[in-house]
A and B are shown apart, each in its own frame.
Chain A
Amino acid sequence: MREEIIVSGRNNYLIDPHLHIWHWQIPLYLFLGGLAAGILFFAAFFTLMGKENKYKAAVRIAPHIVPWILVVGLFALLLDLKHKLYFWRLYTTIRLESPMSWGAWVLMLVTPLSFIWSAIHIKRIFPKWDWKFKILKDLEAFFTKQKKAIAWVMGISSVILGVYTGILFSAFNARPLWNTSILGPLFLASGLSAGAAVIMLLSRKHKERTMFARIDIGIIVVELFLIVHMFMGFLASTQVQINAAELFLGGPWTAPFWIFVVILGMIVPAFLEVLELKKFKIPVVIPATLVLFGSLMLRFLISYAGQESRWLY
């Protein structure tokens, strides 16, 4: 029998019996970041494609919620910080190797962009909106003229934001479950899927909805492919990664992961969307909500289970 005990010490709060330093705040923050990235990406994409008018919900309606999503997300992040008064320290330095730093700076870029985007489209929601001051009106005119340029920056930065939500985890070599380059694309895809779901919810045009249903199905297929690859990668890797994968393959997190994330969050909504495309009447809230739920759960489960996975020594 092998007996391995910690004779003394290691009673650090939140570290033992197993690491649990990140609670709901970080996964929520990552979910909201991914969702914002998804929405902004589609807005920028269809603007650049010149399809602004075809996809109104994507370009002009949905982006209005992004600033609020980001504010809530940043607030969640702030809640996670244990030394809040020093929050500003994030912005006194740029650390290229630190995903947290990337995230902070990308958000620094994306958040104002999202406000600007919202501002130049505000009249779509409040037709009687008046900026009151001349300077604001001038600014609006200026930004509207630069829309394409803004869309370019927004598109690129939203991809960075989307990937970042996954990289934040995968940069942590110390948590074998996170230590896979698939988390970046997977979280990006999940964010896009969530963004598509929100657009579907907000769109009043059937055509736009079916377009996004199609996009969503495509993304979900990619997601499923990435998940399978992720596990194949783990199982073909070292013992620690096998142990990590087992958290979801028979271990304590198996049921929540496969039921909430994969079945309810991906397969069922994709199936419903296919039915919808086949002209069955499916209320759009059902697949859209399931996708959002699945996307949120993915962050939570990867965050929680990941903190439990560790190296053996």
Chain B
Amino acid sequence: MRYAMAIDTKKCVGCSDCVVACQTENNVPIGYCRDWVVEVTDGTYPQLEIEIRSERCNHCDNSPCVRCCPTGASHYEDGGIVLVTPNECIGCGACITSCPYDARYPHPDGYVDKCTFCIHRIKKGLEPACVSACPTKCMYFGDLDDPNSPVSEILKVRKYKTLIPEAGTGPQVYYLI
């Protein structure tokens, strides 16, 4: 089992519903976030292009955050989901500095927090909150090992990229381009 997410930059309108949906679903404190939206504009008026990406933890295959965690609080779950166990985390910040995507943040309660791929939802057969809220339906989630999962299906037919593959982290959030 290998959970992954694919996000269609051609359909995403950058509305940030994924951000609020995550915030309410996961009670992410105000002033913090587990996901965010980046908009890149290239060109000169009127020859322009925009790429919009909703970003979050990439649940890397080879994640430096897990490697550098001194307590094992950061760990892999079934399906490759990278999680933090709050009461094993000492809040040393090593994982925060080790993540090339700045996907983690120190929760005001002391431990380090980040996207969980909404594991509490997927265990119940639901989609992650951001995926199920996105009004443009531009996010796909599922098991890469299952060729019929939404994410496998879309990656079969679309061109895609990942973020900083050269960092060697093996990111599992794919951007359809």
The answer to whether A and B interact is yes
Q: Could you say which residues of chain B place their CB within 8 Å of the CB of A71? A: none
CB contacts (< 8 Å) of A175 on chain B: these are 97
Say if the beta carbon of B52 comes within 8 Å of chain A.
yes
Interface of A, helix, strand, loop or mixed by DSSP: loop
Contacts A6-B36, A11-B32, A93-B72; A1 near B92 (Cβ below 8 A): no
Which one, A14-22, A124-132, A288-296, is touching chain B? A14-22
Asked whether any CB of chain A lies closer than 8 Å to the CB of B126, the reply is: no
- Enumerate chain B residues within 8 angstroms of A171, measured Cβ to Cβ: 64, 67-68, 98
Q: Is A12 an interface residue when CB atoms closer than 8 A count as contact?
A: yes
CB of A205 closer than 8 Å to a CB of B: no
Of A43-51, A84-92, A210-218, A277-285, which stretch is located at the interface? Answer: A84-92
User: Is B64 a contact of A172 with CB atoms below 8 Å?
Assistant: yes
B19 A310 Cβ-Cβ under 8 A:
no
A95 lies within 8 A of B71 (CB): yes
Q: Tell me the minimal C-beta distance from A245 to chain B in angstroms.
A: 18
A4 touches B38 (CB 8 A): yes
Check B71–A92 contact: CB distance below 8 A. Answer: yes
**CB <8 Å contact, A82 and B93:** yes
**CA–CA, A313 to B163, complex, Å?**
7
A308 to chain B, nearest CB (A): 11
CA distance A253 to B100 in the complex (A): 21
Q: Which of A99-107, A136-144, A257-265 is the contact stretch?
A: A99-107
Give complex CA distance A175, B166 in Å: 13
A300 vs B70: C-alpha distance in the bound complex, in angstroms?
A: 22
Total interface residues on B, CB under 8 Å, equals 54
Q: Is the CB–CB distance between A83 and B90 below 8 Å?
A: yes
User: Are A99 and B68 in contact, CB atoms less than 8 angstroms apart?
Assistant: yes
Contact code string A21-43 (vs B, CB < 8 Å = 1, else 0)? 11000000000000000000000
Residues A311 and B167 in contact, CB atoms below 8 Å apart: yes
Binding site for B on A (CB under 8 A): 1-16, 19, 21-22, 80-87, 89-90, 92-93, 95, 97-101, 103-104, 171-175, 238, 307, 310-311, 313
Since A7-B14, A10-B33, A11-B33 are in contact, a sample of 20 more A-B pairs with Cβ atoms closer than 8 Å, ordered by chain A residue number, is A4-B38, A4-B41, A8-B16, A13-B106, A14-B96, A19-B96, A21-B96, A81-B90, A82-B91, A89-B90, A95-B70, A97-B67, A98-B67, A100-B69, A100-B70, A171-B68, A171-B98, A175-B97, A238-B166, A313-B163
Give chain B's interface residues, CB within 8 Å of chain A: 14, 16, 19, 31-33, 35-44, 52, 64, 67-73, 86-94, 96-102, 104-106, 108-112, 163-164, 166-168
**26 A-B pairs with C-beta separation under 8 A:** A1-B43, A4-B39, A6-B39, A7-B37, A7-B39, A7-B52, A10-B102, A13-B106, A82-B92, A82-B93, A82-B112, A83-B111, A85-B110, A89-B88, A89-B90, A93-B70, A95-B69, A95-B70, A97-B67, A98-B67, A100-B68, A100-B94, A101-B71, A174-B97, A311-B100, A313-B163
